[in-house]
Structure 1
Amino acid sequence: MATISIYSWFQSVYNYLLSLFWSTELDVTLLGLQNAGKTSLLKVFIGEEFSPDSIPTVGFAMKRVKHGHVTLKCWDLGGQPRFRSMWERYCRGVNCVVFVLDSADASTFETAKTELNALLSKEALVGIPLLVLGNKNDLPASIGTEEIINILQLEQYKDRDISVLSISVKEGKGLPGVLSWLISRKNSNK
């Protein structure tokens, strides 16, 4: 019995030392229009239950998501018109930007395209990888990734690392792929 506890102690010390020398922290900015599901996504990532009654982010919030030896420092930015002017400030120098789109609400597509294209035109964001998430794919009106690429005019960004994933935060669909994509950017330049 003493052997197991000594082994367990050495294992925990080893893991702690490993985390000191081999852990990585990534800066990630979550943005998109209001009610797209940014805050719900972040809550699910930190282990909370999905709630359809999520309170909209006012301004910004920051949460850390630990996955193995990688910690994601996630900035959740408000999507209301009055907060969009600060998006660029929170995107400078991050490892990647995640743009969440309500893929079932066609009334928001034009505004989402305008806001995202304006943001991507900023000099400070050149070279920063972009992940576009078409959220709410559990709803019948949702569109797929090819339609998202066309609507947001993403094909024009040839020199930028862009990926588009279809997800449902509510049902958990596609979320492991989101984490994998984010973690794979740990070597991207800041």
Structure 2
Amino acid sequence: MGLLALLRKLRSTPEKELRLLLLGLDNAGKTTLLKKLASEDVTHITPTAGFNIKSVMSEGFKLNVWDIGGQRKIRPYWRNYFENTDVLIYVVDCSDKRRLEETSSELTELLTDEKLKGVPLLVYANKQDLPTALPASEIAQALGLHLLRDRTWQIQSCVAIEGSGVKEGMEWVCKNIGKK
């Protein structure tokens, strides 16, 4: 196929874009997950002091993923990124039981914001490889996901550092959200 034919083909099949907002407490694994999605090295991850943005292709969609730092002092600024969000991805460190109430509270606050009203939610139940990790079903219960009636949601077990479960979550996003 020549260059001109290739360019015509690309132009005739416009890619669908989705804006994904990646949030969660600090050390939940958001940046690791983002780097795994982008097929980047995850051996040296540092805490996100501001935000990271990456565009990745998945299932024929261009996913523009905004990873915002989760430290307590940064969380009040999360709302500056809510505009035009197609999917909210919330990452939970399933091995950190002492912060389960805090992460649940933060998610509840996010879901009550008018700018995120009705926005589909994907929760990654991360760090399933650790012996102290709670299963995704218990995380879903602790977060009160079964009570959500105003949005589509999914919880996905994952080990971001290995990449297990990450692709399945993105497939759910593209299959269920991409139809819109």
Matches within 5 A, 1:22-171: 22-51=14-43, 53-67=44-58, 69-171=60-162
> Contact between 1:33 and 1:112, CA under 8 Å: does it hold in 2?
yes
Q: CA deviation at 1:13?
A: 4.5
Shift of 1:49: 2.4
CA contact (8 A) 2:22 2:66 kept: yes
C-alpha displacement at 1:144, in angstroms? 1.3
Secondary structure in 1 matching 2:74: helix
Quote the offset at 1:19 in angstroms.
3.1
CA deviation profile, 1:80-137 (whole Å, cap 9, x unmatched): 0111112222123211000000011111111101111011011111110000001011
Q: CA deviation at 1:183?
A: 1.6
Q: CA separation in 2, counterparts of 1:25 and 1:87?
A: 21
Q: Structure 1 pair 136/16, CA: closer, same or farther in 2 (3 Å)? A: farther
Over aligned residue pairs, what C-alpha RMSD do you find?
1.6
Q: Which has more helix, going by share of residues?
A: 1
Measure how far apart 1:14 and its partner are.
Answer: 4.4
Unaligned runs of 5+ in 1: 1-7
Is the contact between residue 19 and residue 69 of structure 1 (CA under 8 Å) also seen in structure 2? no
| Structure number with higher relative contact order (C-alpha < 8 Å, ≥ 6 residues apart) | 2
Kindly provide the amino acid, as one letter, of the partner of residue 52 in structure 2. A
Matches within 5 A, 1:174-185: 174-184=165-175, 185=177
Cα contact 1:22–1:69 (8 A) shared by 2: no
For residues 89 and 47 of structure 1, the distance between their equivalents in structure 2, rounded to whole angstroms, comes to 28
**Alignment partners' CA distance in 1, 2:31 and 2:134:** 21
Cα offset for 1:16? 3.6
Normalised TM-score (structure 2): 0.92
Q: Structure 1: how far apart are the matches of 2:22 and 2:58?
A: 17
Residues 16, 105 of structure 1: CA spacing in aligned structure 2 closer, same or farther, 3 A cutoff? farther
Q: 1:113 to 1:68 in 2, by over 3 A?
A: closer
User: Partner of 2:178: helix, strand, or coil?
Assistant: helix
Give TM-score, length-normalised by structure 1.
0.87
**Count of aligned pairs between the two proteins:** 178
Paired residue type of 1:79: G
> Take 1:18 and 1:149, find their aligned partners in 2: how far apart are those partners?
43
Aligned partner of 2:132: which letter?
Answer: A
Local SS of the residue matching 1:187: coil
Structure 2 residue runs without a partner (length 5+): none
CA contact (8 A) 2:59 2:171 kept: no
* Deviation, structure 1 residue 68: 5.1
Question: 1: distance between equivalents of 2:4 and 2:157?
Answer: 40
Kept after mapping to 1: 8 A contact 2:88/2:122: yes
